[in-house]
Amino acid sequence: MSSSPIASLLPVPSDHPRQASGRIGVLLVNLGTPDAPTYWPMRRYLKEFLSDRRVIEVPRLLWWPLLNGIILTTRPGKSGAKYASIWDKQANASPLLVITQRQTEKLAEAMAARDPRLIVDFAMRYGKPSIAERLDGLRARGCDRILLVPLYPQYAAATTATVCDKAFEHLMTLRWQPALRVAPQWHDDPVYIEALASSVRRHLAGLDFEPEVLLASFHGVPKTYLIQGDPYYCFAMKTGRLLGQALGLDESRFKITFQSRFGKEEWLKPYTDGTVEALAKAGTKRLAIVAPGFVADCLETLEELGEENREVFQHNGGEKFAYLPCLNDSPEGQRVLEHVVTRELAGWV
């Protein structure tokens, strides 16, 4: 007498929940963007961003009155003007959103060729589309296994960890959770370093001048975060060191700096704007800046580095200045994303 699985002998109850399964999701997550460079969208975005305890570790008793009483009154207008200067008017969206969409579409096409079960999507930690929304979307399409890819080559609590916090916070509300993996940092991966070096060489070749100095500018964090154990500084410094070596530049022609300070607290040094000013005053006439820690161009690269630091350099005696674009959705950039995703899907695909 042959045996049959019990499930095949029992009728499925009419109220049995139906859940698609068997597919594998890849969710890319970047920082986020306001919906528009105007006051109220900027205020909503800044409130969510600056309320994150991973981003601002000041005690709530001190921070809350300052945030809600002063910062969210004055900063939306100032930040909105900066966003407006780099806003993609054709797409009516920030460059970060536009580029992340393109990265996702290209990666989806490449990964589908590897395995038709794969679905690639993206979310933003702050603003839209939210992590919860896109996790639910992947589950609805049958993804019972999901790879979460925080788009930060160098881990930091204020970036990678807060993406994980938000994802797990949503998973806590689900009765049937998907299996979840989180891609680790790739700050010293040879594929990433070579992609950076190749992109830098290509963009330098397109300039009408040869820079005397190349700055690798990383987003900064308060120095206290490093002292408390955050590894970000070490990861950024290693990326910079490996990139300088790959380009064959010594310390006189290649420097690592940190940008985007906020508040009066001491942040990681040397500061990018201070270094740019010092170089110009010391006689450097030709300067280029690259931002290896950003996978897509955004306010901090296009406006802060490309516009503000250009002004600092030229105001202090510099002449030729260039901001070199991020990897974005270039062939080099897509090669890195495909490499990281493929590596982290091992055993699933």
Binding residues: 219, 300
What are the strands, taking DSSP E only, across 50-186? 118-127, 143-150, 179-182
Tell whether the torsion through CA atoms of 181, 230, 123 and 293 is positive or negative. negative
Which residues are annotated binding-site positions for Fe(2+)? 219, 300
CB 288 within 8 A of CB 321: yes
Contacts of 19 (CB under 8 A, 6+ apart): 139, 176
216, 196 contact by CB (below 8 A) = no
**How many whole angstroms separate alpha carbon 146 and alpha carbon 195?**
26
Question: What span, in angstroms and rounded, lies between the C-alpha atoms of 13 and 165?
Answer: 37
Dmax over CA atoms of the chain, in Å, equals 92
